[in-house]
Amino acid sequence: MFVHDFGDQIGRYANLVDSKNNEFEVLVERFNGNIYLTTGWHALKDFYDVCLGFWMTMVFVSMDKFVIHLKDRFRRNMSIPRFTPLMIFKLEKQVVPFNNFDVLSSLFVHD
């Protein structure tokens, strides 16, 4: 339903912004009418020092921008570090695949 309603407002990249305005750019790949956020996730894992998992709620707020809320595996709010200047993680465009592939790895496909 999300892709049907908002898919045309999401480009090749999406920005995930936390409550302290730290920003993470992730690659958007399209396959079989679905949208997958792929390359760029490791920056979140490393930044928040996630070991065994966490819950992330994503709220679409505007073109290519999602606000994220993070909780640990016990549903406690995670500590979000504050930096001055803000931390902004961008993808290196020259290492990101130019075209979407016809086959997406089963790692990104879930029922």
User: For the chain, how big is the Rg over CA atoms in Å?
Assistant: 15
Domain membership of residue 96 (yes or no) is no
**Block residue for tokens 């595996």:** 73
Domain count, the chain: 1
- Which three-class secondary structure state does DSSP give residue 45? helix
Distance, in Å, from the CA atom of 7 to the CA atom of 25, rounded to the nearest integer, reads: 17
Per-residue pLDDT of the chain (111 residues; tens, 9 = 90+): 888 888 888 899 999 999 999 999 999 999 888 889 889 988 888 888 887 778 889 999 988 899 999 998 888 998 888 888 889 999 987 665 555 444 445 554 554
Tell me if 58 is assigned to some domain. yes
In a domain, 74, yes or no: yes
- Structural domain includes residue 52: yes
Confirm whether 6 is domain-assigned: yes
**For residue 46, is it within any domain?**
yes
Residue 102: per-residue pLDDT = 46
